[in-house]
């Protein structure tokens, strides 16, 4: 009898501890005053999957908003070295909407708008990486590079060989790769570069006992700065699939090559991540104030970073503002369409206002869960008059928005909760009629290889698919 009573006592003690833990987590979720949709999603997961939900929350649900992104010393250095003086936006040949957008970007992050850049747009991975390798081979002083994925495949090996050669010839090479994004990459691949003198580090290395506090906060940025004069930003990682495709076909993506003063914005983003990782600071002797005098072209560019730290979700707010400013058209490409409530409402409002809103997503994305979640939002779009298309030839990984006749943005940011709230992202916001027209042409070339989804066809999909989409949608804010 005493043994039975002891067992009962232990059982009820475990129940009490577990219940108190769940209640405490729900209290923390509510106390943080998060987006109610996201809070409800976590509470739903905890309710229906109490054990798994608790583990998932510990790994993916906690906030790191209070962590300082940049040290005070680095902030002071950039305050003195960056060209703080913003161009007189009122005197530039921009629309009123573009001026509003630029001022918002500056207010959110201090991002400087530079009107005098040259921008080359790549929609082919093969063409991008040929130019990329040429610029790397010509590097004389420094290469600062970060990617979410840096694979040890044919392309990755070619690029690592170039970097090793440059390092052995006196070029300072610094690399940040995301530890989760590169989980499948052999350690010796990165060690080979380190042994050649390359300063290479994983972002937020996921190891015990810090696994639960780090696995959810990933660096999704794809940035390279060469000799502080040439910058690359966009959606492409270092992987063969961007050049030769995979079993599902070619990967279609967008990337930019920038020369001119706005390269400073890319360099600042890299410096910020380097400081966030608490690595020793470096100084290549570059006088950053000289960036402002580099007039390489006529394209206006503003570089904005965003992440789970800081007061605002910078890129999400910029997207909302750009959509609200639209007068004629909004053309959106994204591999994963899981919009936040505010972004979905913004698109619906635009479409209901008779603005031409078109959303292009892949028919076969690289994640079944994200495919189901994306599908759950299509009915909401069609009901408002948004035109939705499935890209057919392969995987559409491009992350672009073209609005009216002057605005264009691309970078690492997907149109989903994770990019808006969890990941470290970076986008180039471009104000140029020439670039806008060029990317409209690229968008309609993609549409020519796509299938438009009609309301009648979408309503006829199987009940099981609709049910799966509805279930997965509940978890959209935490995917």
Task: Name the pTM for this structure.
Answer: 0.85
pLDDT at 310: 76
Q: Are residues 137 and 237 in the same domain?
A: yes
**Does residue 7 or residue 240 have the better pLDDT?**
240
Asked if residue 364 has pLDDT above 70, the reply is yes
Is 27 within the bounds of a domain? Answer: yes
Quote the CA–CA distance of 472 and 377 in Å, as a whole number.
11
Cα 266 from Cα 263, distance rounded (Å):
5
Query: pLDDT band at residue 1, thresholds of 50, 70 and 90?
Result: very low
Q: Do residues 292 and 349 both lie within one domain?
A: no
- Residue 5 banded pLDDT, cuts 50, 70, 90: low
Q: Would residue 66 count as lying in a domain?
A: no
**Which among 273, 299, 325 is the end of a domain?**
299
Average pLDDT rounded to a whole number, residues 440-454: 98
- pLDDT, residue 434, reads 97
Contact (CB, 8 A) for 206 and 218: no
How confident is the model over 28-45, as a mean pLDDT? 58
Same domain, 336 and 439: yes
**Spatial contact of 177 and 152, defined as CB atoms under 8 Å apart:** no
Q: Would residue 11 count as lying in a domain?
A: yes
Q: Strand, helix or coil at 109?
A: helix
Using the predicted structure, report yes or no on whether residue 33 has a pLDDT greater than 60: no
What CATH number is given to the structural domain containing 217?
3.30.870.10
Quick check: 252 and 446 in contact, CB under 8 A?
yes
Please give, one letter per residue, the 3-state secondary structure of 218-230.
CECCCEEEECCCE
Average pLDDT value for the chain: 85
In this structure, the answer to whether residues 252 and 370 fall within a common structural domain is no
Same domain for 50 and 81, yes or no, is: no
On the question of pLDDT at 69 being above 50, the answer is no
The predicted structure's pLDDT at residue 361:
97
Query: Cβ(452)–Cβ(30) under 8 Å?
Result: no
- Spatial neighbors of 330 by CB under 8 A, at least 6 apart, are 323, 347, 350, 355, 356, 357, 358, 401, 402, 403
Is the pLDDT reported for residue 448 higher than 90?
yes
Band the pLDDT of 372: cuts 50, 70, 90.
confident
Tell whether the model's pLDDT for residue 246 goes beyond 50: yes
> Considering the domain boundaries, does residue 154 fall inside one?
yes
Q: Same domain for 244 and 324?
A: no
Look at residue 269 and tell me whether its pLDDT is greater than 80.
yes
Do both 122 and 145 map to the same domain?
yes
Please indicate, yes or no, whether residues 77 and 184 belong to a single structural domain of this protein: yes
Does the pLDDT at position 20 exceed 80? no
253 neighbors 232 (Cβ within 8 angstroms): no
Q: Is 60 exceeded by the pLDDT of residue 34?
A: no
Question: pLDDT digits over 393-442, tens only?
Answer: 999 999 999 999 999 999 999 999 889 988 999 999 999 999 999 999 99
Do residue 149 and residue 257 come from a single domain? Answer: yes
First to last CA, the chain: 48
409/293 same-domain check: no
User: Do the Cβ atoms of 314 and 106 come closer than 8 Å?
Assistant: no
Active site residues: 220, 222, 227, 397, 399, 404
Number of domains in the chain: 3
pLDDT in tens, 280-333: 877 655 555 565 556 678 999 999 999 887 788 999 999 999 999 999 999 999
Give the tens place of pLDDT for each residue, 160-191.
999 999 999 999 999 999 999 999 999 999 99
How far apart CA 276 and CA 279 sit, in angstroms, is: 8
pLDDT above 70 for 73: no
Does residue 327 form part of some domain? yes
Q: Which two tokens stand for residue 435?
A: 């670039």
Q: Is the pLDDT of residue 2 over 60?
A: no
Same domain, 190 and 332: no
In whole angstroms, give the CA distance from residue 164 to residue 186.
Answer: 17
184-220 residue pLDDT tens:
999 999 999 999 999 999 998 876 545 555 567 789 9
State residue 265's pLDDT score: 94
Q: Which domain-ending residue is among 299, 329, 344?
A: 299
pLDDT of the residue at 217 = 79
pLDDT of residue 430: 98
Q: What is the mean pLDDT of residues 370-393?
A: 93
Residue-number span of the structural domain to which 293 is assigned = 72-93+118-299
Residues 376 and 469 in one domain: yes
Decide if 405 is inside a domain. yes
pLDDT of residue 365: 84
**Quick check: is 49 in a domain?**
yes
Domain-located, residue 140: yes
């Amino acid at each position: 009898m005493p043994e039975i009573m002891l067992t009962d006592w232990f059982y009820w003690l475990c129940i009490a501890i577990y219940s108190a833990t769940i209640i405490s987590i729900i209290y923390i979720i509510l106390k943080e005053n998060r987006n109610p949709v996201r809070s409800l999603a976590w509470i739903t997961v905890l309710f229906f999957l109490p054990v798994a939900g608790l583990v998932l929350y510990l790994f993916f649900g906690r906030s790191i908003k209070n962590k300082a992104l940049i040290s005070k010393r680095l902030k002071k250095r950039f305050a003195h070295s960056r060209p703080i003086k913003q161009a007189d936006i009122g005197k530039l040949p921009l629309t009123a909407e573009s001026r509003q957008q630029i001022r918002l970007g500056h207010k959110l992050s201090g991002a400087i708008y530079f009107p005098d850049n040259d921008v080359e747009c790549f929609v082919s991975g093969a063409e991008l990486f040929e130019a990329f390798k040429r610029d790397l081979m010509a590097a004389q002083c420094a290469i600062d590079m970060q990617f979410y994925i840096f694979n040890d495949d044919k392309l990755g090996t070619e690029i690592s060989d170039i970097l090793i050669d440059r390092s052995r010839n006196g070029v300072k090479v610094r690399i940040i790769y995301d530890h989760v994004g590169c989980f499948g990459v052999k350690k010796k691949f990165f060690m080979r570069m380190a042994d050649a003198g390359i300063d290479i580090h994983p972002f937020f290395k996921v190891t015990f006992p810090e696994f639960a506090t780090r696995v959810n906060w990933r660096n999704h940025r794809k940035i390279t700065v060469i000799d502080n004069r040439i910058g690359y930003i966009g959606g492409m990682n270092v992987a063969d699939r961007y050049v030769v495709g995979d079993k599902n076909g070619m990967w279609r993506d967008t990337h930019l090559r920038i020369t001119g003063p706005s390269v400073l914005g890319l360099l600042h983003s890299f410096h910020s991540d380097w400081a966030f990782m608490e690595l020793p600071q470096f100084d290549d002797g570059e006088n950053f104030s000289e960036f402002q005098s580099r007039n390489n072209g006529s394209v206006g560019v503003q570089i904005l970073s965003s992440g789970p730290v800081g007061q605002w979700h910078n890129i999400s707010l910029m997207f909302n503002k750009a959509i609200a400013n639209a007068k004629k058209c909004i053309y959106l490409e994204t591999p994963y369409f899981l919009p936040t409530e505010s972004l979905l409402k913004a698109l619906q409002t635009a479409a209901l206002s008779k603005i031409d809103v078109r959303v292009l997503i892949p028919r076969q994305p690289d994640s079944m869960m994200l495919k189901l979640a994306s599908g759950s939002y299509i009915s909401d779009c069609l009901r408002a008059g948004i035109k939705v298309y499935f890209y057919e030839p392969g995987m559409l990984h491009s992350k672009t928005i073209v609005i009216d006749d002057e605005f264009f943005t691309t970078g690492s940011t997907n149109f989903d909760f994770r990019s808006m709230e969890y990941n470290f992202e970076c986008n180039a916001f471009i104000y140029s009629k020439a670039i806008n027209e060029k990317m409209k042409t690229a968008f309609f070339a993609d549409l020519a290889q796509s299938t438009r989804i009609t309301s009648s066809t979408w309503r006829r999909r199987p009940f099981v698919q609709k049910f799966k989409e509805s279930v997965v949608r509940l978890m959209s804010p935490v995917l």
